[in-house]
Amino acid sequence: MKKIFITTLFISALVFGGCSKYLETTPDMRAELDTPNKIAELLTSAYPRANYITFTEAASDNAGDKGNIAGTGEPENRDPWMFKDVESRDEDTPTFYWYGAYRAIAAANHALEAIEKLGSPKETLSMKGEALVARAYAHHMLVTLFSRVYNPNTSSTDVGIPYVTEAEKNVLTKYERGTVENVYTLIEKDLQQGIPLLDDSRYKVPKYHFTRAAAHAFAARFYLFKQDYAKVVEHANSSLGQDITSFLRPINSTSFRSMEYYAKQQWYTIAENSTNLLLVEAASAWGRNLAGYRYGLTTPLLSELIYGSNVSGGSYAYMIYGGTEAVYNIPKFKELFVTTSINAEYGDPYNMIPLFTADELLLNRAEAYARLKQYDNAIADLNSFASKKVYTSQNNPIYNPATHNITETKLASFYRANLEDNIISGVLDFRRREFLFEGIRWFDILRHNIVVVHRSHDQKNTYTLGLNDPMRMFQLPEEVILSGVQANPR
């Protein structure tokens, strides 16, 4: 256990808000949290208002090099693609996400402390549940992005991230970084305590909070990382029930296909979309930049991922826009631009980010079923997914179960391995395509230790993310390292 310093809520104020402004504020804002309503308001800040998609998508095998048609590339897009530490601390970078996550954790901890000071009245029990689950989520994202992926054989010695459970009282607080195993133990403890306390009726707009459905979806993801597959199934079923099909995004439907571009863009991340289980508003330029970044969806990747064959025998129904390689995209994020004042012409971009969806939940369960050797259930989930994502062709956009249903025979013919591995391959293929431009592919690359090879447009340079490569861990912020934290190896 290494002694380290981390910078959370207060030091974030120093970094992003300026030292003088910080020193002019009341040093202990917790004194104002004297009613349940104020605690509830604070909990709206217990979610990381930062975006991980930009750098995880660039680092994945969903990004190729478009060449000079897209310029030289911004650091948040270029550096992860080249498997280098990101030379920026602005929005959409690992450093920005680190601070966003620890600010969220600090808010959750202040809420928990305030609840305890009030004597934990009945009306605050669901708030306590939300704070615990939100704290667990932010820590899980941090340990996923900045530490080695959970491995039952090594996580007792792999270095984790600080798990902060107390409200900050000092500008710099000394913590033990601990191990990945210890972080997972504390996440699980917060989940087990928090989920039973949640009360969906308390929320005015439930999709912006950890409802029971969203919390169970998070638990299903967590246990997939932890390789506790029975609990993945248990929490997936507790989230949306056994039949999740009606919650999936029906991209092969006539109604969806008839939407105009901006309608699709808006629909993807709105609370009314039943697929979305948890949304957060994040400071991010991802929506405006995802199409034009140099390192993104190229023509070869488009041919492989969307127009290539798949195990169902049908065609993927994902609609690609842009017309040229320079701006290929799928409309998923509509930017909200917030001006600094009513008459200002400048401001900050924001995006709504879906943190959990029914689509991911179903595929997580399918993978768990395969690991549990419940192959019929796993294949049934694959078919539920395919029924909303596959059709015969663009000219004949019809899903036909008799033609497109996935069977053991189809899996064996397409993937040519044992049944369990064939199903896992099918899950990974579906998930890779479904979450284009959403950064989720990076989680599969970590969990399955997938090798990623990036080649420059002119084929002169190759960048490889090998097995157990240290670049699978993003680097901690520079000032955190200077404060005494052991940097991730390079």
User: pLDDT (tens digit, 0 to 9) for every residue of the chain, 490 residues total?
Assistant: 333 334 443 334 333 333 333 223 333 444 488 899 999 999 999 999 999 999 999 999 999 999 988 777 799 999 999 999 999 999 999 999 999 999 999 999 999 999 999 999 999 999 999 999 999 999 999 999 999 999 999 999 999 999 999 987 665 566 678 999 999 999 999 999 999 999 999 999 999 999 999 999 999 999 999 999 999 999 999 999 999 999 999 999 999 999 999 999 999 999 999 999 999 999 999 999 999 999 999 999 999 999 999 999 999 999 999 999 999 999 999 999 888 777 777 889 999 999 999 999 999 999 999 999 999 999 999 999 999 999 999 999 999 999 999 999 999 999 999 999 999 999 999 999 999 999 999 999 999 999 999 999 999 999 999 999 999 999 999 999 988 888 999 9
CB of 329 closer than 8 Å to CB of 184: no
Closest CA to 331 of 259, 272, 238: 259
Q: Is 209 left (phi over 0), alpha (psi -120 to 50) or beta?
A: beta
Q: Give a yes or no: residue 1 inside a domain.
A: no
Q: Give a yes or no: residue 11 inside a domain.
A: no
User: What value, to the nearest 5°, has the Cα angle with vertex 437 and ends 435 and 439?
Assistant: 70
Q: Give a yes or no: residue 22 inside a domain.
A: no
User: What CATH number corresponds to the domain at position 300?
Assistant: 1.25.40.390
Q: Give a yes or no: residue 488 inside a domain.
A: no
pTM: 0.92
d(CA 297, CA 303): 10
Domain tally, the chain: 1
Helices (H), 148-298: 180-194, 212-226, 229-240, 254-257, 261-268, 286-289
Structural domain harbouring 265: 36-170+177-483
User: What value, to the nearest 5°, has the Cα angle with vertex 177 and ends 171 and 182?
Assistant: 130
Q: Give a yes or no: residue 390 inside a domain.
A: yes
